[in-house]
Every structure is written in C-alpha cells, then in structure tokens.
Amino acid sequence: QLQLVESGGGLVQPGGSLRLSCAASGFTLESYAIGWFRQAPGKKREGVSCITNSGDSTDYADSVKGRFTISRDNVKNTVYLEMNSLKPEDTAVYYCATVRPFSLCVSMGAHYDFWGQGTQVTVSS
C-alpha cells in the first residue's frame, strides 16, 4: 500500500539533461527524508542525493555535485532529481527511497524503509 514510483528516465546524449520524479502513494511524503540512489551493472548501489522532509537541507555525492539538483514539492507528494551535464558514467537504474536518518543517506548507512521500482537512465552518444 505504501509505494514510491520513479519516472522520467530514458536515453540521453552526453551533456544532456533529465528530470526524474519520485511520487508517493499511500502515505504523505512530507513526513520523510528522501534519497536518490543508483546502481550500474556489476556495481554496488550508491547514494546520489538526499533531501530532508522539509527540503531545507540537501546532500550530494561528490560525483554529481554541481550537476544534479534535488528538490521536493510536498503539495504534489513528489521529489525530483534534475540531472544536467550528464556523463556516460551516470548510466544506471535510479531509485528513490525513504531514509532515516538524513545524515547517513548518501553514504548508504541509513535505514531505507520504502523503495521505488527504479527507472533506467542511459547516457550514450
């Protein structure tokens, strides 16, 4: 009943942009800090970016700082990940999840109670 659904993935050329969405169903997203994570074939899942429940604080992996922006609209019950200047190494399945505590989100040391199904992002020329 409690579900997160990612959307917005697809094929994009290097240097291009995509905006991913994470929509909550069955609960109000405003009660949770939310993180974006990704997993490429043969690699471990890694934290990309996280945002507090109110949106007053964010965190990013070093590999995406300056290129990705996380935001949320609690009225729409949705968290977004704006990805700019995309690189081939950004290719992965991107997931969103609830996180606690926020401080351990990107490092993958937090608790992740609810996960979405993932959306594929492919960066290729």
Separation in Å, CA 96 to CA 5, 14, 38, 60, 114: 8, 23, 9, 14, 8
pLDDT value at position 77?
Answer: 92
Token pair belonging to 3: 């579900």
pLDDT value at position 44?
Answer: 96
Contact 10, 19 (CB under 8 A): no
Rounded Cα distance between 5 and 115, Å, is 8
pLDDT band, residue 1 (cuts 50/70/90):
confident
pLDDT value at position 26?
Answer: 85
Examine the pLDDT at 20 and tell me if it is beyond 90.
yes
The predicted model gives 13-25 an average pLDDT of 97
In this predicted model, what pLDDT tens digit does every residue of 28-51 receive, in sequence order? 888 999 999 999 999 999 999 999
Examine the pLDDT at 73 and tell me if it is beyond 90.
yes
Examine the pLDDT at 54 and tell me if it is beyond 90.
yes
Percent of the chain with pLDDT over 90: 92
> Across the chain, what does the average pLDDT equal?
96
